[in-house]
Amino acid sequence: MLSVWFRVIRVRFLLASVIAVSVGLSLSWWQDSSVSWLDAALTFAGVMALHASVDLLNDFWDFKRGIDARTTRTKMSGGTGVLPEGLLKPSSVYRAGMIFLIIGSVIGGYFVLTDGIIIATILGFAIISIYFYSTKIVDSGLGEFFVAVKGSMIVIGTIYIQSGQISPESVLAGVAVGSLSSLVLFIASFPDHDADKSKGRKTLVIAVGKEKAAKLFWVFPFVSYAAIALGISSGLFPLTSMISFLGVPLMIKSGIGLQKNYDSVENLIPYMSSTLMFGRITGALFVAGFLIRF
């Protein structure tokens, strides 16, 4: 049963939030050579709870709307399959999603008390976007945008909790991480195009069509790398942050693969996986760039 819950929470995708928090903490450490480990642990716990909440609620609403019945499930797309297979009750998944949302909100509430209005604003955005993500937000065509903003806010919020300020470097680091998170969501929406469209969803792929959307792939890594390059050139990031660019060959492989196979679910699977790998490797290298000191 535990393995089923891990499956519906999509544990391996939680790594995106782990990387976002880690970027914030590593940047804080690079700046001040110190980190509050209690605050760091609570930040990880709160962000993980909120991330688990959005995944659970997304699975619930996709099942209720009948989207999962129309998708071709892969490791990267089409839902977890837990509810269509009857492994859990929809009500149980919904309750779990709300419990995680409450846990994340309570932890966030602690930081609101200790750090004030900035964290309250970030937390309020998180709660509203999580609850309405799978209905109002994805139906409006803003899913990729909200995921990018979410990733950015995790980094900015983590640094603010540690330092008490929002700095240009925290914003640039947030943009870099948020763009990578949005890229993974973007490419994973290609196989679900028909199912999503039939049930009223409006992803970026649906909005512009698969062929044109495939060309937009490059925008996401460009924004991420541009933010990192700007940070390095302006002295806001260390030169060691350049190791983030080691993921470029994997990015190129993924982008070219998408443009050639955007209309074939089976052929696209390896490139969805390599895009996920690109995002994770680039994020991890970005973290390492702040931790390496000569």
Question: Which residues, other chains included, contact 47 with Cβ-Cβ below 8 Å and sequence gap of 6+?
Answer: 17, 20, 21, 104, 154, 158
Domain borders along the chain are 14-291
Q: What is the pLDDT along the chain (294 residues), one digit of tens a residue?
A: 788 998 889 887 889 999 999 999 999 999 987 899 999 999 999 999 999 999 999 999 988 888 877 777 777 777 788 888 889 999 999 999 999 999 999 999 999 999 999 999 999 999 999 988 887 888 787 888 999 999 999 999 999 999 999 999 999 999 999 999 999 999 999 998 888 888 788 889 998 999 999 999 999 999 999 999 999 999 999 999 999 999 999 999 999 999 999 999 899 999 999 999 999 999 999 999 999 975
Q: 0.95 exceeded by the pTM?
A: no
**What kind of architecture, by CATH, is found in domain 14-291?**
Orthogonal Bundle (1.10)
Distance from C-alpha of 228 to C-alpha of 234, rounded to nearest angstrom? 10
Residue 43: the pLDDT is: 97
Element spanning 19, H or E: helix 15-32
